[in-house]
Structure formats: structure tokens, C-alpha cells
Structure 1
Amino acid sequence: MSIPGHMIPLSNQYPAAIVRPNGQVVRHNPLYSDQLADVDVLEIFQALHFSGHRSQVHVTPQGTLLKARLITLNEKAGPYDSDALLLEWTPMGEAEMRLAFFQIISKAVNASLILDEIFDTLAEEIQRFIPYASGTIVILDDTQNITKVVVKLDETGQAHIQGDVQEFVGYDSLMSDLLHQPQSLILHRQPELEVKPSLIADAAQETNLVVPLIAKGYVIGFINLAGGDFSPESINLLEDISEQLAVAVENARLYWQTQNQASREFLINHITKAIRTSLDIETILQTTVDEVGRVLGVSRCIISYWGRLAESADALAFHQCFQYTLPGISPIGNTAQLAQFEHRLFRNRQDNSGQYNPFVLNDVRDYTFDDGLFELCGLKSLAVFPIQLAPDGAFVGTISLQQCDTFRAWVSDDIDLLTALAEHMSVALHQANLFHETEQQRQQLEVALLELQQTQMHLVQSEKMAVLGQFVAGIAHEVNTPLGTIMANEDTVLKCIETLSGAGCSEADRDKYKRVASDLLGLNRMATERIEEIVKNLRNFARLDESDMKDVDLHEGLEATLMLAQRSLAGHITVEKRFGNLPAVTCFAGLLNQVFLNLLVNAIQTINEKRERLPTHQGHIILTTTYDPSAESVAIAVTDNGMGIDEAHRAKVFDPGFTTKGVGVGTGLGLALCYKIVEKHHGAIHVESTVGHGTTMTVEIPVYPPKPTNS
């Protein structure tokens, strides 16, 4: 509402004034000039604008009620515009003043959840109505054992929140007495009596007024005013204030507890994420001590970890230790004594459920069974939390929080935080241990696999030699035949040379002997090449597996295999080659030759077995090769018309040690090794058989080995 200045009567009967923000007085009642001079107009303007209110009430030192209201002197202004302040003074009696003061205090302490702001307003307003020389406000922690907040009030009405002042209530006799018997007290100094120092009494002042702060039936703190003339009305007024302050403190405490809970959950999630992203035990433990020490601001944070191996405290000499220390705090050099103490300590702190309870000392002087360890480590306060390994709860270490520079009350937030972290560490360490065990098993399996591969290589070579032994006689015959040719031709060639060198040899004879010698030398050359081919095939067949795959012509390997088995074919077995057009295949040629020879030997043996029963039986072996461009694979099939394989035995033919041959004929390793070799080439081997008619063994392998994939 717009109030033009000329409409406001400001006679002696109307205690009011109109002023502008710059201090210009538009109109005023001369009787209230002194009160007007005490008003900070600019401060009131700013307070109203910041608060969003149009008016506010103040109690002046002269005992009057001042109501300040924003107005406008411009008739065209809107309802929320203002360019002046209307000040109205109303004289008050004692009861009215107390009520107004109480309302002001109530509004002030309930307008904020920030304790600093509450204390600032409170100190100023109390000084106005209950003058004091000094004062103290003390807020206790949740346990009522420790001072959490200490605020000093000075004679100017200013509040000064002290730093980290944590005092044990039990050491302050006045606080301890009022905690157990809450009441308001006026203390008068008696010089002849020795007064014990107290946070809630100023020994330098003649009088001290102390009122407990009570919320929900519990003492949460105290308010002390010193050096004033405290009347019964002052006591009543301060008691009323204490009720309002207690409510405000509780509201602020609940608010900050909610904030702290959110911060604590964030911290737990942060540390949990940090330690669970690692599967290395040392990284987990060092990350935990660094984060906990930094956040809680302790002098030292130490993790002693001995794992499952320590059955007694004396076995902890080689435990792992991880430390965090504040700058200026010396780390503990020899942590074995501390680890042994904590190990013994928790052995006696296990509850019925198998859990270990934290060990908390706000003052290490209260514990006398440390054998001087606390003094050696420079401790004043200590909190130790057990680390139990999931899932069986094995006691594997401790987290130790140490305060060295001052005593520290370990509040419930600290204990809850560390208890939760210990549980998360339990899971993280369990996962790390599982990974470590799995890694050890993997390494053991790698060693076992390497040994198995070496054994398999020896078996392949042994099988090669075993099969080769079956063809020694045939190979010897293959070598002897060209050797016999060479030796037989040698005498004839020498005679030709003697004749040619003789004097009586005619020209026609010379030509004849030259032709004969040339033909014989050609035969010798062919015999030598045949021997060279046989030796080459033997060398390729008998050598150990190559380390690298090579592009080879599989038909060359099949031809070499047939050459080695030629003698065993005798006259009653014919071989038919149905070779297709094969591309070069990337493979281990020596290993595949072993497969071909094993399959060929099996075919020869089953035909011979059938011939023993039917002497007139003529054996027939078909070697077939095909190429499938769509699958980029080749197939090599060995078909015989031997005995065939019984259906009951067909599924076992590739099992190591299985054989249907007689004693001394088969080792039972041939087809098993063939299966492994083909598997090594990412291929497959199939068997089709009809009893009495024969068997077909087919090997399928890719032309190119598959590219390795990242797992």
C-alpha cells in the first residue's frame, strides 16, 4: 500500500518517523529524536530486502518496541515498491518487553539451521536484555560424554566459536553434576574457597548464571552468563531462551546428521569403489588407509594385515603394515608389537555370533594393560576395528585410528563409518584372495599344460618311431634296390673305361662303350636320386614338430607316406589315388604326415587281418582329397575294404590306450594322437565303418588357421 507522506500525522501523540535509505528524515516526532539517532536505517533496509519481509520488530535499549515497515511515498509506485521506512515506537512494560524479546529470540534461533548464525543472533539479543561481561555456550555430543561445540560470548554481544575443543564431561565437575541433576544455578565467587575450573563458569567474575539446555528430556548442553546482576526475572528469561536454543540446536543437529549421513555414504561408496576396482591386496589396503586418514583427519591410520596364516600373536613378525600419517607425525617404525597387541586384544573380544567388537579409547590413560605401548607410540586416543574375511569371518587384520596431538572422542559417526568400511574391505579382500588363488591355479595349469604338450610331443615322436620301425625292412629294401643297381653298374662302367682307354679299340667300339657307360651313369644318377628321396622322406617323417606353420602341398606328404608304406602293401593291396585340386594349406606338415601314415597303417593292418581269415581277399585302399571353397577347408579320406569297426567300439577309437588289435600289434596311441594333431589344426576327424566291408577315416582342416581373438 502506498502511504503518501502528507497523510501521516506526526504530532507528539504519534511516536513515529519516516526516513529514506540514505538517512534523510522525511518526518519525525521530536520526542523520539534520541531513539531515532540510535537506529541504523540502512541496516534495517538491507535486512528487510534480504529477508523478503515488509516489516520487522526490534526492542530498543530504552525499553520500547520499535516496528519498522517499508512504505513508498510515490503514489504511482506498485505495491512492492518502497522508498522509505516507517518507524513506530511503542512503550512496553516488563511483561510486554519479555514477551517481545522472547518472540525475537524464538524467531532468530528458528530461522536458521546454521549454529554459527544462531549463536551470533543469540549473543547480541541476550546482551541487550541480560547484560553480561562474558559467557559460554557448550553443546555436548550424542553420548553426553564429550563437548562438541564451545562458544565464547564477549561483553559486546559477539559470539566466538572455539576450534576443536573436545573435553570429557567427567573431568569437569560442574558439568558432570548438572548433567546428572539438571537445574539453573547462580554461582557467587568466594575467594577463600578453591574453585575447580569449568568450561561453564568464569572464575574471574563475581557471579555466574548457568542454565542447562534440555531437549526431549536429555541435557544437550549448557549456557553460562558471567559478570552480571542476575535477577530472578533474568533467570526465568534465560531459561525460556534455553528452551528455544535447545530446540534450535536439536533441529540443526538433525539437519547436519542427515548431511553427515549423506557425506558418510558418499565416502563409503567412494572408498568401496576405489578398493573394489582393484584385485591387488596391497593396493586395497593402502588406498583404504590413505582415504580414511585423510577424511577423518587422524594422526595415524594403520592397517595391520596377517591373513589367515597367523594362529598366534607371536607369529605376526612378518605381517604386512600400511600407514597414513599427518604431516609432523612420526610413523611407527616397528609395527610388530602393535600388531601383536591388537591380535591378543581381539582374541578376547569375540561375541556369541563370531563377530569382533571395536576397541575404542577416548583417553588411553583409562587402559593400563598396554605394557607401555601407547606411550611408546605417542598415543592419546585410539580406536581399533577388526578386519574379518568373508565369508567365514576369519580374523585377518585390524584398522587402527590413532590421535597423538590431542585427546579425541570417537563419536558414533566415526565408529559406524569404520565398521561399514571394514565390512566392505572384507568383501574386497575376499575377492582379491579368490583372484590370487585363481591366478596361482592358472599358472599351475599353464605349467601342467606345457608339460602335457611336451609329453604329447614325445608321444608323437615315439609313435613315429614305432610306426617307422614297422617299415624298416621295406625301407631297407627300397634303399638296397638302387644301391644294388649302382654297385652292379659300377663294374660295367669300369670295364667300359678300361676298354676305351685301350689302344686296340676301334672307333665304332668307342661309340658303343660310350653309350653304354652314359646309360649306366644315368641309371646310377636315378638310383642316387631315389636314395636321396627316401632319406629326405625319412628325415621329414622322423623330425620333431616344427615351431611354425608353413604353406605346404598335402599331396607331397601323401606321396611320401605312400613311399614309406610301399613295401607293406605287398602284392595283395592296391592303392587308388583320387586327388582333387587342393590349394596350399598352412599347417604343421610333419604332424599331418604322421596322421596320414597312421591312417594308412591302420588300413593296411585291417586288410591283412581280413586276409588272414580270407586268404583270397584282395585289399584296396582309396586316398581321396577334396577342397570346399565356401568353408575354405580341405578333406583327406583314407578308405579301406578291411574288417570294419564294430559300432560299440566306434566311439572309443580316439581314446588314448584303446585298441582292437592283438598284443604287440598296436599301442592304442595312434588314433588318439591323430585326433590331437587334427584338433591342434582346428580341424576334425570322422570315422565311418561297416563291419565286414571296411572303414573310411576323414580328416578335415581349414586352409588357413583361424585368427586369434581377444578374450
Structure 2
Amino acid sequence: MVLGLTMPFYQIIYSLPPFLTAALLAVMAFTALGRGRRTPASRLLVLLCLLGSLLYVDILVNFNAPSASVALATSRIAHLFYPFLLPLFIQFFHAYLGMRRRLLERLAYGYAVLISFCAAGGWIISDVRRFAFGYFGQGGPLFFLLAGGAVFVAVYNGIIIYQAVLWEDRSIQKNRLKYVFFGFGLLGALSSLNCLTAFGIPIYPPGAFGFFPLLVFAAGVFLYDLLDMGALLRKSLLYSVLTTLLMAAYLLLIFPVQKLFKAFELTESPLFPLALLVLTALGYGPLKQRSQEIIERFLAKDRYDFRRTLRHVSQTIATVLDKEKLTRLLREIIIEAMKVKSCALFLVDPADGHYYAVATAGAIGTQTTLTADTLSVRHLMKSENALMKQHLLGAAGDKHADALLGELARMEGEVVLPMRFKQELKGFLVLGEKCSGRMYDSEDLDLLEPLCCQSAVAIQNAHDYQALKALNRTLERKVAARTRDLQVALAEKERSQEQLIRSESLAALGQLVAGVAHELNNPLTSVTSLLQSAVEDLQQWDGGRPVDETLLEDLRFADKELARARAIVASLLGLSRQTQTYEEAVHLNSVVSDTLRVLYNQYKHRSFNIIEQLTDDLPALRGNFANLGQVVLNIVQNAVQAVDVRGGRIILSTRYDAGARQVVFSCHDNGPGIDPVLQRDVFKPFFTTKPVGQGTGLGLYICHQIVEKHQGTIELASTEPHGTIVTVRLPTGM
């Protein structure tokens, strides 16, 4: 027969409270025993729940005992163990609060042994009495000792919990203490009120309603991890509590179903139990699954929003290369997504190895700079796990844990998450309390730790990018400085080249001075002699006679010679001008003519021919007359020195290349030519094929520099069977 079919409905109602309380205590005990952290408080809680569950089973058995003797026997057996609940309550609260009152605990256990001994003799429970809800044990002559102890324990635990709540500053711990107080504190108080029924007062035992404070405690376990179980185990506890409540609902529904089947006279049918079983399976299973789905959806809502936020953040921080903007973004996201009161992001300074708070929000405490020797920093370097205050509180009394707790207190931090890049601690994230007062759990860490890893990579990338930008700026400054230096050096080089050109030009002209002086001396001597003769003739001239034709011829010859001297001087002055303008109009034929006039004294006594093939009507160049004269002078002078004294020939030609819009000058001699191996070096400075002391090696180099300044080209080549041709191309407009 299915449970409840032979039990009156009112009896089910009376039995449900102790059943729920016993079931919830058992669920908590086995959850904490099998999966919780092994702390003194958790071990004591397991014993407390197991013993409490057995005692509530005793109440449930007494309510449904078939006779008074059975109820009395079970009640006396239960009260052999019941006194030990009192010292267990005291020791549990001491361990949870970190209190050390060994004397009181020993006295409480001695008291429990004494009461248990008295219970064995029947002095605690003397009889049982039948009430509307069932049998319940009645107090004996010494029951007042048990009742007084229960009241004392309830009051004492309430006082120490209340004081701890008042003294606690952290909202998380304060909320945890409140849940413990309203959970097991209220459970102890309700259990102590069972003494009223034991004294014969006809009321339902208040302790049977212990499932209410246990549900509050279960909520605290889930929200604040009172037993340090972790998120997965807290969900398991929540589902176990849900299963217990659904079982209670099943017991309540079974009676109306029985009435319904009885009305149709189906209760005696053999199909009734099977139908009831099928109905239960079809209803209970889906209801439980649906309830779990609702709870999962409710619990996962914030997690889903946070995950979505983190995905967005991960995509965003990958594109941010500004370090300050990135740290500010992380701070804002953490504050908004995690709903925390404070947040601080510490990053290492490579210069000194210290960790500085670069982005903060809320009250972050007084410690904003940490060295690498700080205990918390060393802990994060050695361990890859987050540093959580709630875990350290469970190890209170340990010197290392106490020191870490002190540093966390100075940072106002509840959890510290490392930020690593290539196994190096680049920084860490310090989070304060949640605005909700809830604790950080493993699910929070599962979401935050990947964010910290991605943030470490993003911050390192931003740091590298900024370092690269700084290096680029430094390089740009260095390049600008070097450019200025090069410009100065180039200007100096140009001044040196110009000075060299002037020096070489003056040196070349200096070599011509003797010849030019001799060339000027001849016409001037002739002119002087003729003028002296003309003066004598004029002194003897009779005004009545006509002018002597010979005198006129002498004067005409003198004027011609003076004109020749003036042309030589003009050519010499033109080739020796020191102006550096490149915008004057230059006629290349005039440059060639002036050069030949200045060089005439060097070749007039030598038996070779200089052939001029100058094209008329050449367009004018834009350049420097003196510099171009120096080019032609050097080229022609080299040709004069290269050809044989007899049979030599130099052809000087000019022409206009209309397609290239260039004026072309060429000097072709029939000298020995230049070895092709040496031709590539002829325009280099200080290169010469002449004997030592007869050349500086700067002539053609200076020609090359001058032609380049005129945006032209100069080429040298050997001709067949022998000889050399030098070609200069100059644009008609610069």
C-alpha cells in the first residue's frame, strides 16, 4: 500500500513539519560531509545536522507511535543523545566566529554527559502523553536541567552572533552571520521551546517548525557559501531542498487523491496502486524538472548578462591600444558588470618592479603601491589561483593567512585576481565587496579569470604599442636631428665645393696669367710704339699739309690692337667672375670662344689644329657663365695636353638637340685616349693620370659637379682608332 493511504489527513499535516526538518538536516549533513571543505566549523555542522536529524526522526516516530510504551522507549533513547546538541551548538558557533573558549566548551560537554546519564535513569523523561498530534515525552524531575541548558545555549548563541554582527564591518561577513543566526540560531531557539510541550502544555512542539529557519540557512548557503562548498555543490544542495519540498507536497496531495478514488469506490481495486504510481511519476518528475529549469534560469540570468558583457569587452579591448583608455574601460566594466563597491587595477612598472594602482573606483584603501616583496604579490607570483578573503578567513590563526588578510584589509579587497602574460605577473585586479553583499564564488572566478588573462594580453599589447610609438618618436627626433646635421653638412659640402671650384678656377686662370700677359704685351708694345711715332709726326705736322696716310694707318692698327687686348681682358674677366647665380642667360658659343681666346697663348706655337664647329642661333642656357667657362676650359685644356705636338687635332662642336631640349657641347681629340678600366674613375675627386706634380685630379670632378648643378650630364668615351670625346649636355631651361 502506498504511503499515506492508511494515515488520516490531519496526521499527515502534523507529521510534515518534523519530516521536513529531519530531511533538510540530513541533506545538509550529507552535502557538507561529502563535498564541503574540511574546516572545524563544517565538521561540527555535520555532527549537528546528523544528530538533529535523528532527534527529529524521534519526534516523527512519537507522533505516529502505535502505543505509549513505544513512544516512551524512543523518547528516552533520543534524550540520551539530545543533551550533546547543546555543546555542539556552542562549539559550532565558536568555530564559525573564530572564538576560543575551551573552558566553556568542556563544561558544556560535562553537562551533556551528566544529563545523558540522568536520561538513562528516567529522570529526564518520565512518561509520554497523548496529544492531538500524537505522543510526546513528558519531563521528569530533572528535566528542568535540560530545559535550562537549552534556554542558556539559545540565549548565549544569540548574544555572541548579535555581537559579531555589530562588530563586523564587511557587509559580506555580516550577511553570512545574519543567515547563520536566523538559521541555526533560530533553530536552536525553537528546539528549546519544545520544553513547553514536555512540561505538559498542550501545544504543537515549536521545534517541529525548524524547517523554516533551515530554509533560511539553505538560502544563505547558496547566496553566501556559508559552508564553503562552491557554486556547483550549492546548487546540489538547493536541488536537494527542492526535492524534499516536492516530497512534502506529494504527501499533501496523496490524501485528496485517495478521497477521490474512494468516492468512485476504486481504492480496493488492484489497479489503484499502479494508477497512483503512474500519476505520481507523470506529475512528480516533470514538476521537479520544471522547477529546476526555473531556478536555473533565475540563477543564470545575471551570469548570462555578465558573460555577454565579457564577450563584448573581450572584443573591445582587443582593438584598444591606448593603455590609459584600456585600464579605464576595464575598471568601468568590472564596476558595472560585477556590481562591486570598489575596484583597483595594479600594473607593474618595469623601471622599478613595483605595482601601482593605475585605475581605481570606490574606496580602495590606503595601499596603492606594492613592491615585489609584498606578501600578497609573492603569493600571486607563486600561485596561479586568485587570492580570496573568504578562504583566508577559514584559515584564521595561521600567520601566513593573517598577514595576507591584513594586506587585503589595507587594499579593501575581497578577491585579488592575477594578470599574467607569458607566466609573468604583469598586474592584478583587486575587487571589493559586491553591492548585493553576496560572496564571490567559483562561477565569478570562472568568468573573471579569462577576462584578466585577456586584459593582461591587451595591456601588454598597448604597452608595446606605446613603447613602439615612443621609440618611433625618438627615432623621428633623431632622424630630424640627423637630417639637420646632414643639411648642415651638405651646405658645408656645397660651400666647400663652391670654394673648391673657385679655387680651381683661380688656379687654372693663374696658370694662364703668364700666357695672357704675353698675349696682351704684344699688342700693347705695338700700340705704344705706333702712338710714340704718331706723337712725333703730329708734333712735326704742318697744319697746311694734308694728314699723312701712313699716320692714319698706324692709328687704325693701334685701335685694332687695343680692341684685341680689351677682348682678351673681357674673356679673362668673364671666366674669372665669382658670382654663384644660375639664372643668367648663357650663350654656349660665347663660352667656347672666350675659352679659346684665353687658352690661345698655350697652343699658338704648337702644330695641331683646333677646329670649331659651332652651330649658329643656339638657344640661351639658364646658368652660370663663369662655371660653364671653367667646364669648357678644363675639357679643352685636357685635350690640348693630350694631343701630339704635330698632327694633333681637336674638334670643338656645339649643337641643339630639339627632342631633348638640350644644348650639346663636345670636344673630340685624337690623343692616346683613356683606358676603359680608368674611365669610370675620371670624375672622382683627386683622380688623375698625369705625373705627380702636374695635376690635382680635381678638374673633371669639378666639371662633373658644375654640370650636375646645371641639371646636365657629362660623358667621356674613347674613340676608334684612338682619341677621346667628352660630351656635355645642358638643358635650355633649369
TM-score by length of 2: 0.49
Match for 1:619 among 634, 637, 649? 649
Q: Which amino acid counterpart does residue 628 of structure 1 have in structure 2?
A: A
2:505 corresponds to 1:458: no
Q: Which has the higher strand share?
A: 1
1:160-205 CA-partner distances (Å, limit 9, x unpaired)? xxxxxxxxx9999899989xx9xx9999994431336444828468
Unaligned 5+ runs, structure 1 = 1-92, 95-143, 146-168, 276-283, 352-356, 706-711
Match for 1:605 among 629, 641, 649? 641
Residue aligning to 2:317: 268
Match for 1:201 among 163, 179, 184? 179
Q: How far apart are the structure 2 equivalents of 1:176 and 1:642?
A: 120
1:425-469 CA-partner distances (Å, limit 9, x unpaired)? 355246436634653356436634642563365246435534642
What secondary structure is seen at the aligned counterpart in 2 of 1:469?
helix
- Offset of 1:377 from its aligned partner? 8.8
Residue aligning to 1:417: 454
Cα distance change, pair 289–673 in 1 and its aligned pair in 2 (3 A): farther
Q: How far apart are the structure 2 equivalents of 1:488 and 1:437?
A: 75
2:597 corresponds to 1:568: no
Q: How far apart are the structure 1 equivalents of 2:346 and 2:232?
A: 40
Describe how 1:50-61 pairs up with structure 2 within 5 A. none
Q: Which amino acid counterpart does residue 624 of structure 1 have in structure 2?
A: T
Q: How far apart are the structure 2 equivalents of 1:703 and 1:343?
A: 80
Residue aligning to 1:192: 156
- Offset of 1:247 from its aligned partner? 3.4
Q: Which amino acid counterpart does residue 618 of structure 1 have in structure 2?
A: G
Query: Which stretch of the first structure deviates more once superposed, 487-496 or 522-531?
Result: 487-496
Match for 1:233 among 229, 236, 248? 248
Cα distance change, pair 488–683 in 1 and its aligned pair in 2 (3 A): closer
Match for 2:726 among 697, 700, 706? 697
Cα distance change, pair 538–417 in 1 and its aligned pair in 2 (3 A): same
Match for 2:694 among 630, 646, 665? 665
Residue aligning to 1:428: 465
What secondary structure is seen at the aligned counterpart in 1 of 2:667?
strand
1:122-162 CA-partner distances (Å, limit 9, x unpaired)? xxxxxxxxxxxxxxxxxxxxxx99xxxxxxxxxxxxxxxxx
Q: How far apart are the structure 2 equivalents of 1:201 and 1:265?
A: 37
**Larger Cα-atom Rg:** 2
2:506 corresponds to 1:478: no
Cα distance change, pair 447–600 in 1 and its aligned pair in 2 (3 A): farther
2:296 corresponds to 1:247: yes
The answer to whether the 8 A contact 1:577-1:624 is kept is yes
1:208-237 CA-partner distances (Å, limit 9, x unpaired)? 41156699955469879x9xx989727999
Q: Which amino acid counterpart does residue 601 of structure 2 have in structure 1?
A: R
Q: Which amino acid counterpart does residue 603 of structure 1 have in structure 2?
A: A
The answer to whether the 8 A contact 1:264-1:417 is kept is no
What secondary structure is seen at the aligned counterpart in 1 of 2:309?
helix
TM-score by length of 1: 0.51
Q: Which amino acid counterpart does residue 179 of structure 2 have in structure 1?
A: A
Describe how 1:184-333 pairs up with structure 2 within 5 A. 190-193=154-157, 194-195=160-161, 197-199=174-176, 201=179, 203=181, 206=186, 207-209=213-215, 210=218, 218-219=233-234, 233=248, 243-245=292-294, 247-248=296-297, 252=301, 255-256=304-305, 259-271=308-320, 275=321, 284-289=322-327, 291-293=329-331, 295-296=333-334
Residue aligning to 1:157: none
Q: How far apart are the structure 2 equivalents of 1:215 and 1:322?
A: 30
- Offset of 1:266 from its aligned partner? 3.1
Q: How far apart are the structure 2 equivalents of 1:453 and 1:477?
A: 36
What secondary structure is seen at the aligned counterpart in 1 of 2:454?
helix
2:686 corresponds to 1:648: no
- Offset of 1:415 from its aligned partner? 0.5
What secondary structure is seen at the aligned counterpart in 2 of 1:267?
helix
Cα distance change, pair 509–642 in 1 and its aligned pair in 2 (3 A): same
Q: How far apart are the structure 2 equivalents of 1:442 and 1:265?
A: 39
Q: Which has the higher helix share?
A: 2
Tell me which of the two structures has the higher relative contact order, counting C-alpha pairs closer than 8 angstroms and 6 or more residues apart. 2
Cα distance change, pair 458–616 in 1 and its aligned pair in 2 (3 A): same
Q: How far apart are the structure 1 equivalents of 2:403 and 2:726?
A: 82
- Offset of 1:562 from its aligned partner? 3.8
Q: Which amino acid counterpart does residue 192 of structure 1 have in structure 2?
A: Y
Residue aligning to 2:273: none
What secondary structure is seen at the aligned counterpart in 1 of 2:664?
strand
The answer to whether the 8 A contact 1:493-1:517 is kept is yes
Q: Which amino acid counterpart does residue 478 of structure 1 have in structure 2?
A: V
Match for 2:714 among 679, 685, 703? 685
1:475-526 CA-partner distances (Å, limit 9, x unpaired)? 34325644775687579769978998x8996366899999987986786576
Query: Which stretch of the first structure deviates more once superposed, 508-517 or 680-689?
Result: 508-517
Q: How far apart are the structure 2 equivalents of 1:302 and 1:677?
A: 66
- Offset of 1:642 from its aligned partner? 1.3
Unaligned 5+ runs, structure 2 = 1-8, 11-34, 57-88, 90-149, 165-173, 187-212, 223-228, 252-283, 336-341, 393-399
Q: How far apart are the structure 2 equivalents of 1:562 and 1:344?
A: 95
Q: Which amino acid counterpart does residue 675 of structure 2 have in structure 1?
A: D
Describe how 1:126-137 pairs up with structure 2 within 5 A. none
The answer to whether the 8 A contact 1:268-1:420 is kept is no
What secondary structure is seen at the aligned counterpart in 1 of 2:515?
helix
Q: Which amino acid counterpart does residue 266 of structure 1 have in structure 2?
A: Q
CA RMSD of aligned residues (A): 6.2
1:395-439 CA-partner distances (Å, limit 9, x unpaired)? 9x9667666898998822430231221342355246436634653
Residue aligning to 1:100: none
Q: How far apart are the structure 2 equivalents of 1:343 and 1:620?
A: 93
Q: How far apart are the structure 2 equivalents of 1:488 and 1:663?
A: 40
